[in-house]
Amino acid sequence: MSRTIPLPDEDATQRLGFVVAHALRTGEAVCLSGPLGAGKTTLARGLVRALTRTDEDVPSPTFTLVQFYQGEHFILAHFDLYRLTRPDEAFEIGLDEALEDGAALIEWPQRLEGQLPLDRLDIEIAIEGEGRSARLTPHGSWEGRTLEF
């Protein structure tokens, strides 16, 4: 069942990342979608910093395609699939391995064309005036999990 959360400012977007990070487990993915400038990287920054350090440098991996972060309990792989031309490229750069050994944060998951991880939380960010909203849709192991905001 989907749930929509208002994100009135950047702090709220980073806070959502923090909350999701504390629910994320090994073998799971968080899939971020939304238009350019919606706040996907802001949410990712909050999520990564919750798992690592509050001052962790979290650039968008648009050009490197994937960035790895050592968390306390697992490695988080942050994928940006915007520049991919075919779904298999995500697996060539280590998506399967990332989910075996840790967790994955995936921007532009629609590039996987239906080959999404089964255990995932889809977060679709929409621009609404000056603010944003996020629609959260759980799949697999995320179903029934409560996230407190």
The tens digit of pLDDT for each residue in 92-146 reads 888 889 999 899 999 999 999 889 999 999 999 999 988 999 999 999 999 999 8
Contact 115, 128 (CB under 8 A): no
Q: Is the pLDDT of residue 83 over 70?
A: yes
CA distance 31 to 110: 9
The partner residues of 70 in beta bridges, in order of sequence, read: 75
CA distance 84 to 97: 18
Q: Which domains does the chain have, with CATH numbers?
A: 3-133 (3.40.50.300)
Banded model confidence at residue 61, pLDDT cuts 50, 70, 90: low
CB atoms within 10 A of CB 94: 17
